[in-house]
Amino acid sequence: MKVSDYEYVIYRDFGNGYDLEVSGANNNKTVNPDITIFVWFKTKEVIETVDIKSFQALQEQLSKIEEKYSRLS
């Protein structure tokens, strides 16, 4: 976790120029949370945005994004 725009976010650097940020998960909302996943390229350009409405969907999307972007160079 790190602070970005005054909010605690989940952050992951894939080490290949792609970064992942999960915004909106740091709250007490357990039903229909408003979570957004951002995939950045070289921390300058958002190349993918995914809106999430459940923690199960968050887990599924994070796995897909990890598989897709961690192997790119």
Higher local confidence (pLDDT), 30 or 65: 65
Compute φ and ψ for 72, nearest 5 degrees.
-80, 150
- Strands across the sheet containing 35-41: 2-4, 7-13, 18-23, 35-41, 45-52
Query: Are 17 and 39 contacting, i.e. CB atoms less than 8 angstroms apart?
Result: no
Tell me the C-alpha distance between 3 and 27, whole Å: 14
What's the pLDDT score for residue 44? 87
pLDDT tens digit sequence for 38-50: 999 997 899 999 9
Is the Cα torsion angle 8, 10, 15, 19 positive or negative in sign? negative
pLDDT tens digit sequence for 2-40: 887 778 889 999 999 999 999 988 777 667 788 999 999
Q: Domain coordinates of the chain in residue numbers?
A: 2-69
DSSP SS3 for 17: coil
